[in-house]
Chain A
Amino acid sequence: MMLCAPAHTRNCTSWSVSYRGQIVTSDNLRTGLYDTHVSLGGRMVEFGGWDMPVQYPDGILAEVKAVRTATGVFDVSHMGRLYLSGPKATDFLDWVLTGSVSGLRIGRARYCVICNEKGGVIDDTIFYRLEEDRYLLIPNAGNRLAVVAWFQRWIDEKFSPGCTMEDVTASTGLIAYQGPGTVDAIDQIADTPLSEMRPFSWAESSIQGAPIFVGRTGYTGEDGFEMLVQGDDLVKVWTALTSSGAVPCGLGARDVLRLEAGLPLHGHEIDEETSPIEAGLDRFVRFDKEYVASVILKEQQEEGVPRKLVGFTLPGRSAPRAGYTLLHQGENIGVVTSGSYSPTLDTSIGMGYVLERYVEHGTTLDLDIRGRTVQVTVTALPFYTRPRRT
C-alpha cells in the first residue's frame, strides 16, 4: 500500500500525511507547544511552514466529537499576529480589507477578506479593534509573509507616516478553545468571568496569572474562545485548559470541523485567483467604500460571476477530495476544493466551484472519485449549524 493522493493537493499550505514514515523537518518553524505536542503523541506535519500536530493518538474522529459535544483545544500559534497602529491605521485597513473598518466599534472583531487589485483573495482574516487607532489582525500561517508584504507596500505608498505594522507572531502564541462546554467551563479557568462575552467581542483577562487577550471567535462552527498569550505562557495556558478536560485537537480535526461549518480555507476555497464574490463571501464585502479591489468586486456583484462556490453531499463515506472533477451529463462543469467524511452528519460532504447555472440547492451532479462516478446533491451551506443553547 502507498499514499497515492494526499487529501489536499492544491496548495503548499496543505499538510501531507507521509505514509512511508516520519517527516524529517529542519527548517520549519515551531510553536512554544511543540514539545508538548510531541509528548502527547501528536503526529507532527508541515503546515504553512510550521511543524504542527495533524492529530493526537485518539484520532481525528474522536477530536471532532470532543469539539462538537464537549471541549477541545487547538494550538493555532502558527497563525500570524499583526498589530496595526497610528492615526491612519483605520483608513489603511479600510483600504486593504473588504469589510467596514471605521464602522467597527472598539471591543469588537470582524471577519473579512484581503483582496489584490484583481479581486483575488490574498487572505481571509479576523481583525479586532483594540483602540480608536489600534487593531490586531490574524492572517493564516502560510499567508503571513504575503500579507505583511502587501500591507507594507500600501503603507509606504499611501499611509506613511501615520500607520505602523508590528508582527508579534514569534513572541506570542494563540490557542483556540472550542466546543459547547467551553462557556460553562471558562469562568472556572480564567481569572475573571468571560462567559458573558458576546460573539465577536474581545476582552482581556488572565489564566493562573498569565495575561490573555481573548476573543469569542473560532473556526469550528462551535461556540468558543481564542486566546492570544505571551510565548512564555503558552504551556501554562494550554495545560490549564487540558487539565479542565479539554481534548487536544490537531489540524485534521480543525479541517473537518471548519468544512462541516462551511467555512472556507485559503488555498482551497479561496486564493489569489478567486474572488470573494465567487466564494459566496458577499456579506463580508462592502460595496459602498473605495478600496483596493472595490471596482472589480462591485462589477462582479452587479454583473454576476461565471462560477460560484457550492456545498454538496453524497451518501456513504468515500470522500470527495480537492481537485476531483464535478460533471453534469458527462460535461466537466466544476472542481472540488475540499471534502471529507463528516462524522457529525455521518455522510460525505464537499465544497467546490461549479458553473453558475448549477448552483441551485437540490441540483444533482456527478463526481468522479478516481474513476468511479458518484451522484452528489448541491446543498445549502453550512452543512452543520450548532444547536442554540436553551
Chain B
Amino acid sequence: MSSPDDRKYTQEHEWVMIEDAATKTAVAGITDYAQDQLGDIVYFELPKVGDNLAHLGKMGEVESVKAVSDLFSPIDGIVTEINEKLLDHPELVNSDPFGEGWLIKATINDPAEIYGLMSAADYDAFTAGL
C-alpha cells in the first residue's frame, strides 16, 4: 500500500499532516507499515491534551498482542486533542491508520518544520529497503 502524499513521514513510522495552516494545527498517527508490523493493536498510551511535544521525543506507547513500542512525536508542539475512539477501539489503527486511526492533534510551533520530514515516496522507498 502506498502512503498518501498529503502528509509527511518520520523514520520512526509516524505521519503528520497540516490540518489548518492558519491555526498551525496538525494531525499525526502511525503508518500502515507500522500497524502491519505490529499486528493486532490492543492498547494505546497517549499524551494528554496540553502536553508539550518534542520532535522525536517519546509521546506514548502502543501495545500489540506480541510487542510494546514507543511512539515518538513527529513535531514540536502542544497536544490539542487525542483520538478518544482508540481507548475502546485501538484496532482502528490496524484498519485505517491514515484516517480514522489518527492518534493526536497538536498545535505546531513551526509548521515549516514538517517539511524537513520525508515525503510519501521517500518513506515508501525507505520501508521497501527495510
The residues of A with any CB-CB pair to B shorter than 8 Å are 1-7, 17-22, 43, 54-55, 59-61, 252, 255-256, 316-319, 321, 340-341, 370, 372
Contact = CB atoms under 8 A, between A and B. Distances in A.
Nearest to A316: B43
A46 to B, nearest CB: 14
B78 to A, nearest CB: 20
Contacts of B127: 21
Interface stretch (B17-25, B47-55, B64-72, B111-119): B64-72
The residue in B38, B45, B65 that gathers the most chain A C-beta atoms within 10 A of its C-beta is B65
B68 A4 contact: yes
18 contacts: A1-B71, A2-B69, A3-B67, A3-B68, A4-B70, A6-B67, A7-B67, A55-B66, A59-B39, A61-B65, A255-B66, A316-B43, A317-B43, A319-B42, A319-B63, A340-B65, A341-B63, A341-B65
Given A341-B43, A370-B61, A252 B66 contact: yes
A370 B71 CA distance: 14
A317 B90 CA distance: 10
B92 to A, nearest CB: 14
Given A1-B69, A252-B66, A21 B39 contact: no
A372 B68 CA distance: 14
A17 B43 contact: no
A231 to B, nearest CB: 29
A6 to B, nearest CB: 6
B82 interface: no
A310 to B, nearest CB: 22
Contacts of A319: 42-43, 63, 65
Given A1-B69, A3-B69, A22-B130, 9 more contacts: A1-B12, A7-B67, A21-B130, A43-B39, A54-B66, A318-B45, A318-B63, A319-B43, A321-B68
B43 A318 contact: yes
Contacts of B81: none
B65 A60 contact: yes
B66 A60 contact: yes
A1 B42 contact: no
A229 B70 CA distance: 43
B95 to A, nearest CB: 11
A22 B127 CA distance: 10
A19 B43 contact: no
The 10 closest A-B pairs by CB, nearest first: A21-B130, A317-B43, A341-B42, A317-B42, A61-B40, A60-B65, A59-B40, A318-B43, A1-B12, A4-B70
Contacts of A252: 39, 65-66
B117 to A, nearest CB: 14
Given A317-B43, A319-B42, A319-B63, A7 B68 contact: yes
Contacts of A372: 45
Interface string B1-42: 000000000001110000000000000001000100111101
B30 A1 contact: yes
A6 B39 CA distance: 13
